[in-house]
Homo-oligomer: A and B are copies of this chain.
């Protein structure tokens, strides 16, 4: 006669906020990411770097790291891939030669001119699909992002 093992504490993964956030992030990101991966062959880390460059002109790896929730090695490698793809250029900053100045090439700018409207449309579609819940989500996220890190 064998013992039944003692029961484990109840735990509901579907009610676990980090899990829910991960699923939500994955679904919303991938809808768009599939599109731009198919059309332009870029990944999410690359997309983040590109967006930051489109917005801010010349920036260093450090600037991006600080503002785009990426580690510096991620930025460094995303930049390398983008450079190889001819979408960005880098040269060194003459005032501080540790820094790298990243800028979009004309090809990169052209791509972003297509991509950014797609992203805006995606955002808009999300907002409309969720209605009131969108504003609740954003209010919650706002607090969460403020309180963590």
Q: Which residues of chain A have a CB within 8 Å of any CB of chain B? A: 5-6, 8-9, 11-13, 15-29, 31-32, 44, 48, 51-52, 54-55, 68-69, 106, 109, 112-113, 116-117, 119-120, 122-123, 126-127, 129-131, 133-145, 147-149
**Closest B residue, CB atoms, query A17:** B126
A interface secondary structure, majority: helix
- Choose from B13, B21, B148 the contact partner of A21 (Cβ within 8 Å): B21
List residues of chain B with CB within 8 A of the CB of A17.
28, 123, 126-127, 134, 137-138, 141
CA distance A89 to B67 in the complex (A): 44
Residue of B nearest to A117 (CB): B9
Chain B residues within an 8 Å CB radius of A147: 129-130
Q: Given A51-B11, A54-B8, A139-B136, do A24 and B113 touch, yes or no (CB 8 Å)?
A: no
